[in-house]
């Protein structure tokens, strides 16, 4: 999925979307490690995926960028450490802006902040490889 496709999808979301959260994480260089948990008694062995943020900090699962304002804010802080941004919420929609730029509109504050962040980051790679599992 390209950066532009992610931006377009963020702009039309009507509810949080875990697939898009995953695409954002991959684009921003979150990484996944798979660990095998050995069998224990009557529990079979299983594989567990652990995610790490771009700084190498374990986050466990892909953050809920399109749902959680905390996750969206951490993405903003990582991607644009010297930028100023803000959001406002209204009945049925939210808006966000970065560095006084164009205000973007989305269904909630988290998605609006993700969308504004994605549009403001100039050096993202143009496409990402899709991960099949979280």
pLDDT tens digits for 42-100? 889 888 889 999 999 999 899 999 999 999 999 999 999 999 999 999 999 999 999 98
Q: How big is the CA angle at 91 (ends 86 and 95), to the nearest 5 degrees?
A: 25
Which is more confident, 24 or 45? 24
In a domain, 11, yes or no: yes
In a domain, 23, yes or no: yes
Model pTM greater than 0.75? yes
The DSSP bridge partners found for residue 51 are 32, 60
Domain of residue 108 covers 3-31+65-120
In a domain, 44, yes or no: no
Has residue 9 got a pLDDT over 60? yes
In a domain, 104, yes or no: yes
Helix (H) or strand (E) holding 104: strand 104-106
In a domain, 102, yes or no: yes
In a domain, 133, yes or no: no
> Exposed, middle or buried: residue 57 (CB in 10 Å: 0-12, 13-18, 19+)?
exposed
Helix (H) or strand (E) holding 19: helix 18-27
In a domain, 80, yes or no: yes
What value does the mean pLDDT of the chain take? 89
Q: For the chain, how many structural domains are there in total? A: 1
């Amino acid at each position: 999925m390209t950066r532009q496709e992610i931006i377009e999808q963020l702009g039309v979301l009507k509810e949080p979307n875990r697939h898009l959260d995953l695409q954002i994480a991959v684009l921003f260089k979150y990484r996944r490690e798979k660990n095998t948990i050995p069998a224990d008694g009557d529990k079979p062995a299983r594989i567990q995926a652990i995610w790490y943020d771009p700084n190498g900090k374990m986050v466990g699962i892909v953050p809920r960028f399109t749902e959680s304002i905390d996750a969206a804010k951490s993405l903003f802080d990582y991607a644009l450490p010297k930028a100023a941004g803000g959001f406002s919420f209204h009945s049925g929609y939210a808006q966000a802006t970065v560095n006084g730029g164009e205000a973007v509109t989305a269904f909630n504050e988290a998605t609006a902040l993700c969308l504004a962040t994605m549009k403001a980051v100039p050096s993202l790679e143009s496409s990402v490889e899709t991960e099949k599992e979280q």
